[in-house]
């Protein structure tokens, strides 16, 4: 059937099914009062005709407001990473606001679990119909989504996943493969079997993100029978002075590091330290397309940045909830984002 002939209205569906328009409307909006046999027949005709309901008209007629809650880390002086997902969320919001969808924003401090707990509680009190969540604090996020499950509120994870939860979808990187790629990038400048340093800079070191990324990083060395010893350092105080103090200590303790891998966007702190210490000869790989990181990339202090399209994650997260709550369509349980590699030479052409 030609495409131009495949878009029919409710009247044509009712005629072919030999039922009333009201019956077709009940099936389209999944209401009761239709026999299973008739429902099946109508759905087959809808599929055959590639019928697309007028969602805008339907939403305006119902006058029902759909509220989507957004629970994200607050942008801070330490990292501007969360500006990108927020930009994507706001882009999606602009596209769907005419369909009776309202977003409620809650922002928590990445250095303060208590702020996550209070913001999560306040968000649920706003009677949201769905939630987009960045699960930065694992234990507290699990408790929050258990409350969502009890209230039958669908939720989508972005940036980081928590396996075993009843999320509508996870939208973010394949974390193991991301770490695997990071290890491969570092090997391009390895000349010996000296030590490799893995740096985690976060209050939440046990975050699933970092554990999976590091596991993938180590997996590459194991799979390729590389004998480099991999040393890990966890820095829980994320300000620059704390990073510098820990880096000074570990480089004094191990004088033969050949490369450094940072598991998140705070790689610029390590790059600043290496620059101030005149140690920029040490290859450095980290994450995310931030202004601070790009400056160090252009200066030669960072060799590669790995990026996972955070703006697109935010956009897709909201649109996934919209498609489920408003359109009623099923969604992919997992949507892996690209693992992009940014260099000094290509950064000017990259869109986050």
What is the predicted pLDDT for the residue at 340? 98
Sketch out the chain's domains with CATH numbers.
Answer: 3-53 (1.10.260.40), 64-173+310-337 (3.40.50.2300), 175-307 (3.40.50.2300)
Task: Report the mean per-residue pLDDT for the chain.
Answer: 90
Residue 136 has pLDDT above 70, yes or no: yes
Q: Within 277-309, where are the H helices?
A: 291-299
Residues 191-223 have pLDDT tens digits of: 878 899 999 998 876 666 788 999 999 999 999
Q: How far is CA 151 from CA 124, 158, 215, 298, in A?
A: 9, 21, 35, 49
Mean pLDDT value across residues 259-279: 96
What is the predicted pLDDT for the residue at 327? 78
- 2 band by pLDDT with thresholds 50, 70 and 90: very low
Q: Within the chain, where are the H helices?
A: 10-17, 21-28, 36-49, 55-62, 83-96, 113-124, 138-150, 175-187, 208-223, 240-253, 267-276, 291-299, 310-322
Q: Which two tokens stand for residue 31?
A: 């209401």
Distance from C-alpha of 304 to C-alpha of 185, rounded to nearest angstrom: 7
Mean pLDDT value across residues 34-59: 79
Residue 6 has pLDDT above 80, yes or no: no
Mean pLDDT value across residues 171-175: 96
Residues 6+ apart with CB under 8 A from 341: 181, 185, 304, 305, 306, 307
Mean pLDDT value across residues 130-152: 96
Residue positions counted in the chain: 352
Residue 56 has pLDDT above 70, yes or no: no
Q: Which two tokens stand for residue 130?
A: 């769905």
Residues 284-315 have pLDDT tens digits of: 999 999 999 999 999 999 999 999 999 999 99
Considering only 40-44, 260-264, 270-274, which range has the smallest mean pLDDT?
40-44
């Amino acid at each position: 059937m030609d495409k131009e002939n495949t878009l029919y209205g409710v009247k044509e569906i009712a005629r072919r099914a030999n039922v009333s328009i009201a019956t077709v409307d009940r099936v389209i909006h999944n209401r009761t009062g239709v026999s299973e046999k008739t429902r099946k027949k109508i759905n087959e005709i809808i599929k055959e005709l590639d019928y697309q309901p007028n969602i805008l008209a339907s939403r305006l007629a119902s006058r029902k407001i759909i509220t989507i809650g957004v629970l994200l880390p607050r942008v801070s002086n330490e990292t501007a990473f969360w500006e990108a997902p927020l930009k994507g969320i706001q882009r999606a919001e602009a596209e769907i606001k005419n369909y009776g969808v309202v977003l409620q924003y809650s922002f928590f401090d990445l250095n303060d679990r208590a702020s996550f707990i209070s913001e999560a509680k306040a968000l649920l009190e706003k009677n949201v119909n769905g939630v987009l969540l960045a699960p930065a604090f694992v234990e507290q996020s699990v408790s929050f989504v258990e409350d969502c499950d009890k209230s039958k509120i669908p939720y989508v994870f972005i940036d980081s996943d928590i396996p075993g939860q009843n999320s509508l979808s996870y939208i973010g990187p394949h974390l193991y493969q991301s770490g695997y790629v990071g290890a491969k990038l570092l090997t391009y400048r390895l000349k010996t079997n000296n030590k490799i340093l893995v740096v985690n800079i976060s209050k939440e070191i046990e975050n699933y993100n970092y554990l999976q990324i590091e596991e993938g990083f180590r997996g590459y060395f194991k799979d390729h029978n590389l004998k480099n010893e991999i040393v890990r350092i966890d820095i829980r105080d994320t300000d620059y002075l704390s990073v510098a103090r820990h880096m000074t200590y570990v480089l004094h303790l191990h004088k033969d590091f050949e490369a450094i891998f940072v598991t998140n966007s705070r790689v610029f702190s390590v790059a600043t330290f290496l620059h101030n210490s005149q140690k920029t000869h040490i290859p450095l790989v980290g994450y995310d397309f931030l202004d601070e990181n790009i400056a160090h990339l252009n200066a030669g202090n960072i060799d590669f940045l790995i990026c996972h399209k955070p703006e697109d994650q935010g956009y897709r997260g909201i649109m996934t909830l919209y498609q489920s709550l408003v359109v009623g369509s099923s969604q992919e349980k997992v949507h892996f984002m690209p693992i992009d590699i940014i260099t000094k030479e290509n950064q000017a052409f990259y869109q986050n």
